[in-house]
Chains A and B, each alone.
Chain A
Amino acid sequence: MLIITRKVGEIISIGDSIEVKILDIKGRQVRIGIDAPNNVQIYRKEIYLKILEENKKAANILPEHLHEISLIWDNKKE
């Protein structure tokens, strides 16, 4: 991992099209501004990982589940 020390207001360029600017530092929190092309996806990593984990859990449906949850729906409607 490349490690760079920056002050508030300073910028890191990544390639030709991405800039990361340190906007503010308060205690243990850093505010960061990112300029990147539209097609570059920027996520908070912990959210991305939560979705990934939930997708893995949701992917393994058994045939009986399919039937079962339809029944649950029927019961709830009544």
Chain B
Amino acid sequence: MIFESKNFGTLNIEDKNIVLFVDGLIGFCELKKVIIITPQEDTPFRWLQSLDNPEIVFAIINPLLFFPDYKIKITKADIDLIEAKTLEDIQIYTIVTIPDNFSKLTANLLGPIIINANKCKAKQIVVDNSSYSTKHLLLSDSR
């Protein structure tokens, strides 16, 4: 399909690359179809572009690149929902918030996204672990 995105211009998208958020993203239940865009630059960021609303795009990262100790519990129901057969089927991303001060990028570790790329199904899950927040600084000065 041909898709006119706000940020990336005209995209020619193959059906096999369309990922379905079965329940929509939290707060965006009408947004179900997305694609994940890998930029050409060498960067850990990926862009999660909504196909239901051309204006909506999220920056996402593999949280383990920044928070190696990050651990979440995924329920059987969620594993079934994205039709994952093994843990290897599941990719984990977290959404990055870009504030006015770009150096204060934060990752939302409370609401990670789990994706089964084989089945193109995804879900944003709610982590029940009080040591995580929705705003973990991505780049601290000590890095």
A44 pairs with B128, CB closer than 8 A: yes
Q: Which A residues lie within 8 Å of B44 (CB)?
A: 73
Count, chain B residues at interface, CB 8 A: 43
Write the chain B residue with the least CB distance to A68: B102
Q: Which B residues lie within 8 Å of A51 (CB)?
A: 26-27, 108, 110-111, 124, 126, 134
Q: Which B residues lie within 8 Å of A48 (CB)?
A: 26, 126
A52 pairs with B27, CB closer than 8 A: yes
Q: Map CB proximity to A onto B103-129 as digits: 1 under 8 Å, 0 otherwise.
A: 101001011000000000000101110
Q: What secondary structure prevails in chain A residues at the interface with B?
A: helix
Q: Which A residues lie within 8 Å of B103 (CB)?
A: 72
Q: Which B residues lie within 8 Å of A52 (CB)?
A: 26-27
B96 pairs with A58, CB closer than 8 A: yes
State in angstroms the CA–CA spacing of A66 and B41 once bound together.
11
CB B114 to nearest CB in A, in angstroms, measures: 14
Q: What secondary structure prevails in chain B residues at the interface with A?
A: loop
A54 pairs with B135, CB closer than 8 A: yes
Count, chain A residues at interface, CB 8 A: 30
Write the chain A residue with the least CB distance to B47: A66
State in angstroms the CA–CA spacing of A15 and B133 once bound together.
34
State in angstroms the CA–CA spacing of A53 and B138 once bound together.
19
Interface presence of A61 (CB below 8 A): yes
Interface presence of A14 (CB below 8 A): no
Q: Map CB proximity to B onto A40-65 as digits: 1 under 8 Å, 0 otherwise.
A: 01011001101111111111111101
26 contacts between A and B (CB under 8 A): A38-B75, A39-B81, A41-B23, A44-B128, A47-B110, A48-B26, A48-B126, A51-B108, A52-B26, A54-B108, A55-B111, A58-B98, A59-B28, A61-B7, A61-B47, A63-B7, A65-B59, A65-B98, A69-B59, A70-B39, A72-B102, A72-B105, A72-B139, A73-B44, A73-B45, A74-B41
Interface, chain B (partner A; CB < 8 A): 6-7, 23, 25-28, 39, 41-45, 47, 55-59, 75-77, 80-81, 95-98, 102-103, 105, 108, 110-111, 124, 126-128, 133-135, 139, 143
